Structures are given as C-alpha cells and as structure tokens.
Amino acid sequence: MNLTDHRVVVTGAGRDFGRAVALRFAELGAEVFLAARTQEAAERTRAEILARGDTRAHAFACDLADPASVRAFARAVGERTDRVDVLVNNGARWLAEPDLLSASDEDVVDTLASGATGTVLVTRNLLPLLLASERPDIVTMVSICGVPNASHPTAHEAYHAAKHAQAGFTESLSRRLRPRGVRVISLFPPDFDTPDILSPEWDAAPDGPQDPLTAKSLLDCVTFAIGQPRNCYINAFHFEPA
C-alpha cells in the first residue's frame, strides 16, 4: 500500500497505538500531522519518523480537553496543508478505577472532555480540510467500552461514558457525511497487545485464531479500510474478545 499522496492527522500520537499509527502511515509514504498532549511527546514521535528517513512529519501540542488548544491545533494544521485525507481520532484519556467514587471530579471531567468533547471538536475543526480532500476518511478509536452491554473489568464509568459518546457521535456523523463522500470508520476493540512497532516483537506477535488481538492486526484493519474503493463504506470494526 502506497500513501505518498495522503495527508494524515493522528491524535494521541505520542505513545502506544497512536504512535504506531503515525509511524506506520509515515512508512507507507503519507505526510503525517502528529498531535499529542504536549509538544515534547509529539516531537519524540516525529523524531522517530525522521530517523527512519521519512521526512514529511509535523508535530503539534493538542490538549483534547481544552477547546482553545484544539482550535489552535486545527489552525496550525491548516497553515501547513490545504487538505486532510485521513483523520485518526485516537487520543483519549484512559481512566481505571475500582468504583465511581474513587475518581476525582477533575479526573471525570478530563476523561469525558478528552474522549467525547475532544473527538467532536477535533473532527469539527478539521472538517473543512477533510471536505477539501477527494478521499476523506475519519477513523475513530472507540473501544469495546462503547458497545451497549459490554463490560470492562477496570474501566471507570466515566471512560465508558466517553466511549459511548464517541460511538453515538461517529454513528450520526457517518450518516450525515456519507452524501458528501466522507467515510467514517469506528473501531471497537477489546484490550489488545501493543508491542513497540520498532521492535522485533511487532511482526513476531502471533495472530492465530486463539491469540489476543494486537495493535498490528488492528492497524492492518485501518489500512485495509482506507484502501478500499470509495463506494465501499466500512462503518465499523467490532472485535470479539479473546
């Protein structure tokens, strides 16, 4: 797959799956726009991309819980490109607590703001650039926590609420944007293994029918979906827990 003509925005690109997405898209030739909560985290991923010989990478700070930060990020992207072909909404705060009372009010607000409000505002502010593309795709990392009646052993209720908000947003957005040629793709994975994409474990991880889901397999689903003909709308990937 060759993405040399694609311009891709990735939120939460400073670590874990978001970092893997950024490195993989850059490897495929895309120009990548990396957002992380701090400039330093985004710059670390950008430095890794540059070290591999992929030169078209830009780093930005974007606090998804802060609307002003989201707006500033979108403006900065718009100053460097006239379109966005793929937006990967990966950034969101994880909150694991044993019960509702164990998290502070501030933790609850930040979790909901980054996962729910942040996803909506990033998409809203980058939508004009997406509509300028001939092949716009919006990919959102939701979670099995956004599936009705699904449960997670450690996820806090605020995290479940944020993920259900993301699921509702992307479902409505898909219907609204399909007539305009924008594909909206949501991912609903259970917990998955995320080895370092730059380590031998990335390609060596087993992927048999009894093996747990890995970040590599999940990322393969993303590249598969955006590589399909434009009349192929893959609305969501739902994954069975191992």
Look up residue 78 and give its amino acid.
Answer: G
Q: How far apart are CA 222 and CA 89, in angstroms?
A: 12
What DSSP character marks residue 87?
A: E
Active site residue 233: no
> Which residues, 6+ apart, have CB-to-CB distance to 169 below 8 Å?
116, 119, 120, 123
Look up residue 195 and give its amino acid.
Answer: P
Instruction: Give the torsion through C-alpha atoms of 143, 33, 59, 23, to 10 deg.
Output: 70
Beta bridge partners of 237: 187
- Which candidate in 60, 159, 188, 202 is catalytic? 159
Residue 2 CB neighbours (<10 A): 9
Catalytic positions, please?
A: 159
